[in-house]
Each structure stands twice: as structure tokens, then as C-alpha cells.
Amino acid sequence: MLKACAIRYGTSWDKSPPYAEFSYNNGYQAMFGPDLIGDAEQRIKMVRENLRVARSGRKSYADVRSRDLTFKVDDFVYLKVSPMRGIRRFNMKGKLAPRYISPFKIVERKGEVAYKLELPSNLFGIHNVFHVSQLKKCLRVPEEQAPLEGLDVQEHLTYTEHPVKILETSERVTRNRRVKMCRVQWKHHTEDEATWEREEELRATYPGLFASHL
């Protein structure tokens, strides 16, 4: 919804969220004067149209992807899991890419876009039916199951990621202070996927990381 407001109104997008909220909740706000009411109605119509277009675009993309990805029983597929970190972002762009684990054997098709997988005992508690968007085809049938690389995968298909090395440091100057930053490599990601993190938050969450950096 905020994206739709920003696309339509550009730098003045921050004046639009009240109208977007009004439209979304289909509620009533106290508005006085015909000019304000007319402006509100126009903004509501535009926000609704932007939301309709955005939803339509996402649905079209999902439908195409769902049609393209089809599997058969006894096929092997990789399962996508997402990394979670224990520190807050500091207005940094980019994120850690998801990882694909195993592969696993398909034992049953569920409807048009979901499949039941044969999961090992260490993934007990994870529901074994997945949408095709969570799967990636394995082109070569494995002779044995690949290890999960020590990932503690949770039931919502996330795992906790940990930093292993500080590659470089830097300082960023804000309006009122200097902020020390560290470029960090994460355990299940390459150096090319390293991210810049705020040093004080790294020290609070992973103090041992700096002992190895000395």
C-alpha cells in the first residue's frame, strides 16, 4: 500500500497514507469542507486502482511461475529456506539470499501447485506439503541424501544465520555522529554475499566475532 502511494505521489507520498488507510479499512474519518472531501475521494480512487494493479501483477507472476514449475512423484527437489539474523538492519540495502537444502523425494502431488515431500527425522515438526515456489528441481537423482549443513531449520522454513568473519571496517558519517560499520561474511554465504552491519550491534550480539578479528 505504501509502495502504491509512493509510485503515485512521489515525494509527497507521506500525505497519502491516511487516505490509503481509510480506503483499506472502508471506515469513516471526520472530514470538513467540500474541497477536502473531493480531494480525499480522488486519492482513495487512485490508491484503490494502484492496489488493484499491484495485486493483479503479483497474481499474474505467481500464476506463470506455478504453471512453469511442475514435478512428478519420485522426482527429487531442493527446498528453499530463508536465513534469519539476530541483529537489526541499519538502513542497509540488500539481504542474505535464501538457501536450498537436501534434495528430497516427492511422494505425492497435492492439487495443482503443492507437493508432499519425504522429509528426514531431523526435520520433524515441519509440515511436509509445500507450494512449488518453495521448490527447485534436482536434475540428478542423488545416491544418498545430502547433509543439511548443520542448519537448524524451523517449522516456518527459516534458520538462524551467524557471522563468521569481519572482512573490512569503515566509518559512515551521519548528520550528528560517526557510525562504525563492519563488512561481515555469514556462515552459509560467500564473501560476495557479505553485508555491512553496524559495529555496536555486532558487538552486542556476537562479541566473540571481534576476538577472532584481532
Could you count the other beta carbons within 10 Å of the beta carbon of residue 209?
Answer: 17
Burial class of residue 104, CB neighbours in 10 A (0-12, 13-18, 19+)? buried
| Residue 186 near residue 83, CB atoms below 8 Å | yes
Percentage of residues in the chain having pLDDT higher than 70: 68
pTM for the whole thing?
A: 0.49
Give 6 or 104, the one with higher predicted confidence: 104
Highest mean pLDDT among 84-88, 113-117, 204-208: 113-117
Q: Where are the domains of the chain?
A: 2-68, 70-150, 162-214
Contacts of residue 133, Cβ cutoff 8 Å, sequence gap at least 6 = 62, 65, 66, 69, 80
Residue-wise pLDDT for 16-66, tens only, equals 677 777 666 654 444 555 666 777 777 788 888 877 777 776 665 555 554
Would you say domain 162-214 falls under CATH 2.40.50.40? yes
- What is the rounded average pLDDT of the residues 204-208? 86
| Residue 187 near residue 161, CB atoms below 8 Å | yes
